[in-house]
Amino acid sequence: MLSAKTFLQLVGTIFTIIGTLHLLRLLTGWQVVLVGWAVPLWISLFGAVIGWYLAYTAFSLAKKKNKK
């Protein structure tokens, strides 16, 4: 089983990747179509900010687990 610290680091890494992919979509203009609906680019701005915030939170919690 994963320790809490390792799990939080894994989650932080995944959310960092998600946030970065949203930023890349914004910069390159990648088109995403879900069930025939073209997802607007501006939605990726929220995806990047929220993804990086969740990554920051996960890494902060992992750091606190390390101190205990």
What is the pLDDT, as a whole number, of residue 68? 61
Each residue's pLDDT, cut to its tens digit, for the chain (68 residues) gives 888 999 999 999 999 999 999 999 999 999 999 999 999 999 999 999 999 999 999 999 999 877 76
Q: How far apart are CA 51 and CA 4, in angstroms?
A: 20
HEC per residue, 45-57: HHHHHHHHHHHHH
Tell me how crowded residue 55 is: count the other CB atoms within 10 A of its CB.
20
For the chain, the structural domain boundaries read 1-42
40 DSSP assignment = -
Query: Phi and psi at residue 67, in whole multiples of 5°?
Result: -75, -25
How does strand 32-34 pair with strand 37-39?
A: antiparallel
